[in-house]
Structure 1
Amino acid sequence: MPAVKPEFGAQARQPISVLHGVGPAIARKLHERGIDTLQDLWLQLPVAFEDRTQIVTLDALQLGQTAQIEVRVAAVERGFRFRPMLKVTVQDESLRQLGLRFFHYSSSQASQFQVGRLLRCYGQVRLGANSFEMVHPSYRFITEDQAGVCRDRLDPVYSNIDGIGAATLGKLVRQSLQHLPPEADLELIPEALLRDSGLPGFGAALTAIHEPLPGTTLAELRTGRHPAMQRLALEELLAHHLSLRKQRLAVKAKAARRIDPPASTLEPFLAGLPYRLTAAQQRVIDDIRGDLRSGQPMLRLVQGDVGSGKTVVAALAALSTIRAGGQAALMAPTELLAEQHARTFMDWFAPLGIDTVFLAGKQTAAVRRQNLQCIADGAGMVIGTHALMQDHVQYRQLDLVMVDEQHRFGVDQRLSLRDKGEFEAHSPHQLILTATPIPRTLAMSAYADLDVSVIDELPPGRTPVQTVALANSRRDEVIARIRDYCGQGNQIYWVCTLIDESEDIQAQSAQAAFDLIAGCLPGIEVALLHSKVPPAEKSRIMRDFKDNRIQVLVATTVIEVGVDVPNASVMVIENAERLGLAQLHQLRGRVGRGSTASHCLLMYQAPLSAMARERIEVMRQTDNGFLIAEKDLELRGPGELLGTRQTGDTGYRIADLSRDASLLPEVLRLAERLMQRYPEQSDLLVARWIGSAARFAHA
C-alpha cells in the first residue's frame, strides 16, 4: 500500500496568520466561519463570477442584463422622500442616459460624483421612472488613459463574512494561493485512479476557479461544465461519500441489543388494525426485523409517499423493541404532528397494556415532571418534538430511535437523540422516516451511510386527487363551490403561505382568507390555524376538525406534514407559485385519504414565472411522489430535500447533486478503491472538504 509522505499537507495546514493583514481580529472572525488554515482559504470558492471583459454602450443595454458600462457624470441629485437617496445621471458617447441610484451613501461618497468625471460601473439594468437605471452598482472612477481598457478574464465574487467584506476576503484568498505547494504535494487522489478522467489536478483546478484563464466563459462556470469545476466537484462528492461510508463503518462496529420477540407478541396489534398490510409494508417490516435481530445498530431510511402507511411500520418496529424489554422514541418536527402521533400510538398500544408518553416543550411543569418520571421508569413508547433529546430527559433503556421527516431537524439534534441510547459499547437502532421521496441519484450520495427501504405501494381505498390550477382572481367562485362541498358533508383545507398581510410580498394571508371565507359562509364553521396559535388551542382545533365540528380549516403550511383527517376531500392552496414541488405534493397528500372523490385547487397570482408554471403543470400531470421528487431536484436542487441549511449540516461548496449526477458512478468507483488501497488518502480527503464537521455528515 503506497505510503503518504510525512510532509504531506504541511503547507495546507499553515495558519492564516502567516498572511499579510491577518491580525487577531480578522483571524477571530475567520475562525468563527471555520477558516483557520491556508487550505480553508483555498476552499473558500467564489459564489459567482462577473464578466468585466467588455464595455456595453448605453444604447445596447437590455432590461435585466448585468453589464459593465463606461460613462461620464451628467447630473447629481440628492433627495429624501421615504429615505435618503442619491441619484447620479450618467451618459456615454451614444448620448443615451442612465440613472445610478444609491440609498446607502456618505457625504464624501456623494461629493466624488462631479459632472464630467469618468467612471466605470457594473450592475444589473432595471427600469427606472424615466429610463433604465442601476441600483447600488459597483463602480470606480478612472482616468482618461484607462478608458476602454478592460480586464482579459472573469472576476470571481466571494461571499461576505461578518466584519469582512467580499473584496477583503478575495484579497486574502489570492494571497493564500501564492502559498500553494507543487501539484504532487497537493494531490490526494492517486494518479493511477485519475489517469483516464481527462480532468486537471487539484491545484490547477483550484487556481482556474479562483483566477479564471482568459477565454473562460460565464456559461462554462455557471453550468459546471468547466473541467476545473468538474474536478473539484468530483473530489468534494467523493469526500462526502467517504465520510458517510466511514460513519457507517464506525456505527456498525458497535454492538446493539438483539431484538427478536416471538411473532405471537405482534399478532394482537395486527389483528386490531382495520386493514391488511400491503405487500410493500410487509417487505419493509421484514427488512427492519432483520436489522433488529442482527446485533448491529440498524441504520435504515424508510421512504414512502404520502399516505403509504409509514406510521404502522414504525409502530411494529417500536412494538418489537418494547416486547423485547426496551424503549422506543419517535421524534417529530412539530408539536402538531407529534401530538397526532401520540394519539395514534395511544389508541394502538393502550389495549396492549403499553404506556405511551407524549413530551413537548410547552407542557405545564407538573405534566412535564410526571412524563419525565414515566420515561425514566421505562415507559415503552415515548413521542415528542426536539424536547426528547434535552439533557434532563433520562431513558431507562432506549433501544430504538425513530425520526420522522428527519430533514426538518438539525443534524446535531438527531445525533443528540441517538446519543441518549448510547450505553458502554452499545448503540441504539435508528429508523428514519420520510414522506419526501428521495431520487436515486440523491440517495446514492446523501444517504450512503443508510440502508434504504421504499414503501412503493399505497393502501387500497385511497382515491386519486384531481388537481386543477386557477388564478387568484377566481377566489369568489371557489368560495361559492366550497359552500356546496360543505353541504355534502365534506371538509376543506384552505392553505396560505403567510400568516398576516405583508407589504413586501403579494400573497393572500391566512388571516385575510379566514376573514373573507368566514364572512362569505355564514352557518359553516371556519377555523384559523397557524404557528402563532397557542399549543392547547392548536390541539383543540385539530381535534374539532378531525371530528367534523369544523368544516373549513384555514391554515398556513403548518399542516403540511402528517395531519390525517380522512373526511377532508378538498385542498385549496393559495399562491401555489410560492411553494416548491415537494411542499405542494405534501399538502395535496392531506386529502384523498377516504373514499370520497378528492380535489386539489392550486390558486396562483398571475403572471407566473416559467419555473412556477412548470411546477404547477407537473402537479396537474402526476401524483407519483418519486417522479415529482426527481423534477423538484431538477428545478430546485437538493437543498429542499435534504435541509442543507439546517444546523450542523455539511453543505457543498461547489458540487451540485442534480447538475453533477453524472459524476456519481465515478465517485462510487473511486471510493471503493480508495478505501481498499489508500485509506490514508481517504481520511485526508474527508479532512480537506469536511474537517471537524464529519461527525455531522449524517445522524
Structure 2
Amino acid sequence: MPVTRLPGVGPAQAAMLARLGLDTVRDLWFHLPLRYEDRTRLTPIADLVPGARAQVVGEVAHVEHMTRGRSQLKVWLADAAGQGLGLRFFHFHRSQAGRLAPGTRLLCYGEVRQGGLGLEMVHPEYRVLEPGAVPTMEAQLSPVYPTTEGLGQKRLAGTIAKALTLLPAESALELIPPSWLPEEAGMSLRAALLYVHRPPPEADLAELAAGRHPAQRRLAFEELLAQHVSLKRLRALIQHQRAPLLAGDGALRARLLEALPFVPTAAQRRVAAEVAADLASARPMLRLVQGDVGSGKTLVAALAALAAVEAGYQVALTAPTELLAEQHLATFKRWLEPLGVPVEWLAGKLQGRARRQALERVAAGAPVVIGTHALMQEGVTFARLGLVIVDEQHRFGVQQRLALRDKGASGTLMPHQLVLTATPIPRTLAMAAYADLDVSVIDELPPGRTPVRTVAVAQDRRAEVIERLRAACAQGRQAYWVCTLIETSEQLRAQAAEAVHAELAAALPGLRVGLLHGRMKPAQKQAVMAAFQAGELSVLVATTVIEVGVDVPRASVMVIENSERLGLAQLHQLRGRVGRGADESSCVLLYQPPLGELARSRLNTLRQTCDGFRIAEKDLELRGPGEVLGTRQTGELCLRIADLSRDAALLPAVQRLGERLLAEAPARVEALIARWIGAAARYARA
C-alpha cells in the first residue's frame, strides 16, 4: 500500500518520504527511531544535570537582547521553587522577544548545558502557557526519527502513527514460524514494533539508547537474518554460474617469484594458493583478501593476474584513486613487463589519441589493464576478461563494481573476482557482511618491519613537533605532514594544507617541502610524488590522498594534523605509510583540545596498538558497520537497528535459522529480504 493511501499524505510529503526510502506503509513500520525524548514528566530545575535532555516549566524573570559580538537573546527562567535556568537564542525574530516578556509561563524542552552563569538550554523547544494552565504531558516517550529537509519530526511521527494503525495481526505479520524462533529472538514482531515506536513512560531510556531492550533485539535479529539469507542466496546464485578455468602452466608465476628481491611470507604463499585453487575451478571466484597495511596483498594480486594470463585471459585491476592506481601500475610494470607481459593504463586523465589507442589495445586483448573507475565506463570493451581485481572495494559504489564485472560476461561465463582490502574486517562483520565471499587473511607482515611509535600531541606544542621534524630530516629521514583540508575554512579549525606548506617552508629553511592534494593536476601530483620517492623532498605536506598505496621506505615520520577529526581506520592507514624501512619510525597525532570522548578513545587506541585487527574491532564498536565498510550510501549493509558489535551474540542463531529457512521455506526468505532490504537487494550481485 503506497504512503499516499494514508490520510493527509499528498504528493509533496510522499516525495519527501521517498527521499528516506519510505514508499509504502510497510516501510513506515520499519522506519525506526534514532533515540527517544522523555516529555512524559517535568524535571525541577534544581535536579537538572549537564548533558541530559529534560522538560521544565517556569516563569520568565528577565530578558536581555545582547548585541555585542554575535546577536543573541538571553532569557532567565525561574520555577516555583525559585531555581533559575538560562535560555539562549541565536536565531530569533523581534516578535519572539516580545512574546517572551517577564511574567510569561513557558514549557521548555532541550539539552542542559553548563553556561557562564549557571545551567542553560540553547535553542530549546518551548510553548507559551496560559496563566494558571496545567501543562499536558505526553503519554509515551517521544521517538526521534531519521528525517529529511522539509519534513519535521512532528509531521513524520504523525504519519508513522497513522501507518501503525494498519499494522496487521501477529499471525499475518510474522514471517518466521513461531516454533522456529530461537530464544534469542524473544518477543513477537508486532509487540516489538509497537514498543519501539511507542515506549511507555516507565521504559528504561538508557537500555533503549544502548539498543539492548528485548524489543530492539527482536528487530535486530530479524534484520540480521534478512541480511544473512540475502547474501547466502546470492552465493548460491553465483555458484550456479560458470567461469573460465584459469589454470596455466605456472611458468610466469615461477619466473616472477625467482626475480623478486624478497622471499614471500608464509601467509602470502598460503593466500596465493587459495586464490590459485579458486581460479582453477569452473565456479566464479568471489574472494576477499584482507591484510594489514604493508602485508603484501599486491603480490597475491600479481600472481593471480599471471595465472589468468597463462590461461589466455585478460585481467582488469581497478583502484579508487589515480594515486593508488598509479602505484599498482608502477609495481605491475616492474614485475610483469620483464616477463614479456605488457601492462595497459586506462584512467580519466588519458585523453585523445592516447586514450583511443589504449581502448583499441584493450579490445584487442591486452593481457593486464590497470586503471580507476574509467575501466567501468561505456566504450571500454575487453576481448576475454577472465579476472577482475578490485582494490579497496568499499570505496567504489556497488553499481560501478557491477559495471566492470559485467564487461567480462561472455555467453554463460562470468569473470572471477578478487577483492583486496587493507581495512581489516572483524570476524563478526565478515560473518554478516561477507557471507557471499570466501575470506582470506594475510596475517603476517614481511620481516624487518619496525613497529611505529605513536604519540598524541596538543596543537599548542606545534613548534616542538616542527623542531623534532627538523632534527629527523637533518639525519637524512623523510616525513609526511598530513592535513585534512585543502583550503582554509572558517567553519572548521583544521589547518589547510596550503597554509601548512607555507608555514613549514618558512620554518625549515634549507629543507625542501613539497605539497600534494587532490585538486592538483595529475601530472603535478605525479611529479611531486616522484620527487619525494627519489629523496629530493624532505617533507611532503599532503591531504589524505596519500592514505593508501604510497610506498616510500625512507619516510619514517608521520605527522597527522587535526587527528581528532579522522576515523580509526583512516588514521591507521595513514600511519601505515611509515615503518616500511629499517629506520625506527614515529607517528605524531596532533589534536585540537579539548578532546571529546570518542576522539580520545580513538587516539588512545592508536597509541596502544599497531594491530590492524584490534583497531578494526574498536572501529566497529565506535562507528558501526556501515561506516567501517564505507557502504552507507551503496545499498549494502545499511542496518537500521542491528549493530554487529553489540549484537554479535545473535549471529550463530541467525545462521542456523537462515539455513533452515533457505532449505524449507524459500517463499518466506523472499518476503524477509523485501521487508528489510527492499530496493537495495537489486545491488546484491556486486
TM-score range, shorter chain: over 0.9
Shift of 1:385: 1.3
Alignment equivalent of 2:383, drawn from 368, 392, 396 = 396
Once the two structures are superposed, the pairs formed by residues 137-148 of structure 1 within 5 Å of their partners are: 137-143=124-130, 146-147=133-134
| Alignment pair present for 1:43 and 2:42 | no
Shift of 1:366: 2.8
Shift of 1:153: 2.7
Q: Which residue of 1 aligns with 2:327?
A: 340
Contact 1:298 1:430 in 2 (8 A): yes
Q: Which residue of 1 aligns with 2:663?
A: 676
| Alignment pair present for 1:520 and 2:507 | yes
Aligned counterparts of 2:72 and 2:196: Cα–Cα separation in 1: 37
Q: Deviations over 1:228-260 (max 9, x none)?
A: 000000000111111111111112211111110
Contact 1:16 1:27 in 2 (8 A): yes
Q: Go from structure 1 to structure 2 and tell me whether the alpha carbon gap of 1:273 and 1:253 turns closer, same or farther (over 3 Å shift).
A: same
Contact 1:412 1:648 in 2 (8 A): no
CA-atom RMSD in angstroms: 2.1
| Alignment pair present for 1:430 and 2:413 | no
Once the two structures are superposed, the pairs formed by residues 107-122 of structure 1 within 5 Å of their partners are: 112-122=99-109
Alignment equivalent of 1:660, drawn from 643, 647, 660 = 647
| Alignment pair present for 1:165 and 2:188 | no
| Alignment pair present for 1:310 and 2:325 | no
Aligned counterparts of 1:124 and 1:597: Cα–Cα separation in 2: 48
Give the counterpart letter for 2:520 in structure 1. Answer: V
Aligned counterparts of 1:477 and 1:198: Cα–Cα separation in 2: 56
| Alignment pair present for 1:100 and 2:90 | no
Q: Which residue of 2 aligns with 1:694?
A: 681
Contact 1:332 1:384 in 2 (8 A): yes
Aligned counterparts of 1:556 and 1:357: Cα–Cα separation in 2: 28
| Alignment pair present for 1:67 and 2:51 | no
Alignment equivalent of 1:624, drawn from 586, 611, 616 = 611
Aligned counterparts of 2:330 and 2:75: Cα–Cα separation in 1: 64
Aligned counterparts of 1:29 and 1:319: Cα–Cα separation in 2: 51
Q: Which residue of 1 aligns with 2:193?
A: 206
- Most deviating of 606-615 and 348-357: 606-615
Q: Which residue of 1 aligns with 2:536?
A: 549
Aligned counterparts of 1:414 and 1:548: Cα–Cα separation in 2: 37
| Alignment pair present for 1:366 and 2:322 | no
Q: Go from structure 1 to structure 2 and tell me whether the alpha carbon gap of 1:31 and 1:294 turns closer, same or farther (over 3 Å shift).
A: same
Contact 1:494 1:572 in 2 (8 A): yes
Q: Which residue of 2 aligns with 1:9?
A: none
Q: Which residue of 1 aligns with 2:589?
A: 602
Aligned counterparts of 1:116 and 1:484: Cα–Cα separation in 2: 67
Q: Which residue of 2 aligns with 1:11?
A: none
Aligned counterparts of 2:185 and 2:562: Cα–Cα separation in 1: 47
Contact 1:408 1:646 in 2 (8 A): no
Once the two structures are superposed, the pairs formed by residues 4-23 of structure 1 within 5 Å of their partners are: 14-23=1-10
Contact 2:483 2:561 in 1 (8 A): yes
Shift of 1:93: 1.7
Q: Which residue of 1 aligns with 2:404?
A: 417
Shift of 1:129: 5.3
Q: Go from structure 1 to structure 2 and tell me whether the alpha carbon gap of 1:478 and 1:25 turns closer, same or farther (over 3 Å shift).
A: closer
* Structure 2: gaps (5+ residues): none
Give the counterpart letter for 2:129 in structure 1. Answer: I
Shift of 1:50: 0.2
- Most deviating of 433-442 and 61-70: 61-70
- Most deviating of 281-290 and 603-612: 603-612
Q: Go from structure 1 to structure 2 and tell me whether the alpha carbon gap of 1:23 and 1:576 turns closer, same or farther (over 3 Å shift).
A: closer
Alignment equivalent of 2:630, drawn from 619, 643, 653 = 643
| Alignment pair present for 1:534 and 2:521 | yes
Q: Deviations over 1:548-588 (max 9, x none)?
A: 11111111211111101111111122222222221121111
Q: Which residue of 2 aligns with 1:4?
A: none
Aligned counterparts of 1:460 and 1:41: Cα–Cα separation in 2: 55
Q: Which residue of 1 aligns with 2:225?
A: 238
Alignment equivalent of 1:30, drawn from 17, 30, 43 = 17
Q: Which residue of 1 aligns with 2:286?
A: 299
Aligned counterparts of 1:658 and 1:294: Cα–Cα separation in 2: 35
Q: Go from structure 1 to structure 2 and tell me whether the alpha carbon gap of 1:369 and 1:146 turns closer, same or farther (over 3 Å shift).
A: farther
Q: Deviations over 1:510-558 (max 9, x none)?
A: 2232222211221211101112222111111111111111111111211
Q: Go from structure 1 to structure 2 and tell me whether the alpha carbon gap of 1:616 and 1:129 turns closer, same or farther (over 3 Å shift).
A: closer
Contact 1:88 1:101 in 2 (8 A): yes
Contact 1:361 1:387 in 2 (8 A): yes
Aligned counterparts of 2:357 and 2:577: Cα–Cα separation in 1: 34
Give the counterpart letter for 1:559 in structure 2. Answer: I
Residue 572 of structure 1 aligns to a residue whose secondary structure is strand
Shift of 1:284: 0.6
Residue 328 of structure 1 aligns to a residue whose secondary structure is strand
Contact 1:63 1:127 in 2 (8 A): yes
Contact 1:409 1:646 in 2 (8 A): no
Give the counterpart letter for 1:301 in structure 2. Answer: L
Give the counterpart letter for 1:307 in structure 2. Answer: G
Q: Go from structure 1 to structure 2 and tell me whether the alpha carbon gap of 1:469 and 1:102 turns closer, same or farther (over 3 Å shift).
A: closer
| Alignment pair present for 1:256 and 2:252 | no
Give the counterpart letter for 2:296 in structure 1. Answer: G
Aligned pairs, number: 686
Give the counterpart letter for 2:32 in structure 1. Answer: L
Alignment equivalent of 1:490, drawn from 477, 486, 495 = 477
Shift of 1:47: 1.5
- Most deviating of 79-88 and 41-50: 79-88
Contact 2:185 2:217 in 1 (8 A): no
Once the two structures are superposed, the pairs formed by residues 464-479 of structure 1 within 5 Å of their partners are: 464-479=451-466
Shift of 1:83: 7.0
Give the counterpart letter for 2:109 in structure 1. Answer: Y
Q: Deviations over 1:16-72 (max 9, x none)?
A: 222100122222332343222110111111121001222122233233221111122
Shift of 1:85: 4.7
| Alignment pair present for 1:133 and 2:123 | no
Give the counterpart letter for 2:422 in structure 1. Answer: A
- Return the TM-score normalized by structure 1: 0.94
Give the counterpart letter for 2:107 in structure 1. Answer: R
Q: Go from structure 1 to structure 2 and tell me whether the alpha carbon gap of 1:105 and 1:363 turns closer, same or farther (over 3 Å shift).
A: farther
Q: Go from structure 1 to structure 2 and tell me whether the alpha carbon gap of 1:513 and 1:698 turns closer, same or farther (over 3 Å shift).
A: farther
Q: Which residue of 1 aligns with 2:77?
A: 90
Aligned counterparts of 1:192 and 1:423: Cα–Cα separation in 2: 46
Residue 73 of structure 1 aligns to a residue whose secondary structure is strand
Shift of 1:487: 2.4
Q: Go from structure 1 to structure 2 and tell me whether the alpha carbon gap of 1:35 and 1:512 turns closer, same or farther (over 3 Å shift).
A: same
Shift of 1:121: 1.1
Shift of 1:466: 2.1
Aligned counterparts of 2:20 and 2:611: Cα–Cα separation in 1: 41
- Most deviating of 568-577 and 84-93: 84-93
Alignment equivalent of 2:363, drawn from 376, 393, 399 = 376
Aligned counterparts of 2:131 and 2:399: Cα–Cα separation in 1: 57
Q: Which residue of 2 aligns with 1:8?
A: none
Shift of 1:650: 4.3
Give the counterpart letter for 2:163 in structure 1. Answer: S
Q: Go from structure 1 to structure 2 and tell me whether the alpha carbon gap of 1:372 and 1:210 turns closer, same or farther (over 3 Å shift).
A: same
Q: Go from structure 1 to structure 2 and tell me whether the alpha carbon gap of 1:216 and 1:681 turns closer, same or farther (over 3 Å shift).
A: same
Q: Deviations over 1:95-120 (max 9, x none)?
A: 34334333444566555434433221
Contact 1:308 1:455 in 2 (8 A): yes
- Return the TM-score normalized by structure 2: 0.96
Aligned counterparts of 1:481 and 1:357: Cα–Cα separation in 2: 43
Aligned counterparts of 1:535 and 1:195: Cα–Cα separation in 2: 56
Residue 125 of structure 1 aligns to a residue whose secondary structure is strand
Q: Which residue of 2 aligns with 1:3?
A: none
Identity of aligned residues (%): 56
Shift of 1:270: 1.5
Q: Deviations over 1:434-485 (max 9, x none)?
A: 0111010111001111000000111122222222333333222222222222
